Structure 1
């Protein structure tokens, strides 16, 4: 009888120690998850800051360097896509017809939001001083961020709402898509 009681006590003690070990193992995972979440939010904040600065710098730069500056802040696919969208039905730079543009890009982009025939980021040909009125994170996943952005030109009293997709490639942020709406 004494042996049974002693054996039972050892089993109870062993079970309690095993539970403690399980709890200790779970704690590093929880800490690791919090670190990952903080890194994601820091990345999103970095992407937002980069986007705001890039937009302001783009519109401050020399107008003759627009294409070169656009190429620096966009992915290659988006740059080619937007250049095609700008030049639809134009006889310059190998402009495509509307149908050719749709056929070429419909698999990669939402062509209804391309801003066909209008400039990069804003629909106006002329502007005074473009500023970022708002830039709010809508959605994020690993190395991909979607922002609701409103660009403003106070002198002309214009607003240009859009949704901008930013990706992180090779350690740098780049604009991968812009869904443009008509100016208000």
Structure 2
């Protein structure tokens, strides 16, 4: 039985159709986000692909109706000129799935505008980090999140889920890099 950490410490069977659907939907959403950021229609994107998949197949992937094979996922990432590990990590972060092993990407500017009093110390932390982060986007390892959780006085799982609120929007330059 394959297991996946889903939203905190709860263990869930990855063979469960609900879990599989959540993963497929998260991955499809991220593929669509990157494609749209690049300004590509579905039709224009599928013309780039060597496999010759159709618009409907891409639509099914983007809506999580159809699960991707690894080979097809790699082909789509190549067509988008996107890093497969990064695209997968972004998808899982946005969906808040399997977070304990991910490097979270956090938009510090979004943190500055947050008014949640439970995590108020993060505003000053974000302000200080912006002094050394010109684009305002940082990647935080699970160890860094653990240390920050100790500083702000919250469990790591709570802080991790909270930081997911500040996932950066797709950057067209990064998507094409």
TM-score > 0.5 by shorter chain: no
For this structure pair, what is the TM-score category when the shorter chain's length is used for normalisation? under 0.3
Q: Which has the higher strand share?
A: 1
Taking structure 2 as the reference length, the TM-score comes to 0.25
Of structures 1 and 2, the larger Rg is shown by 1
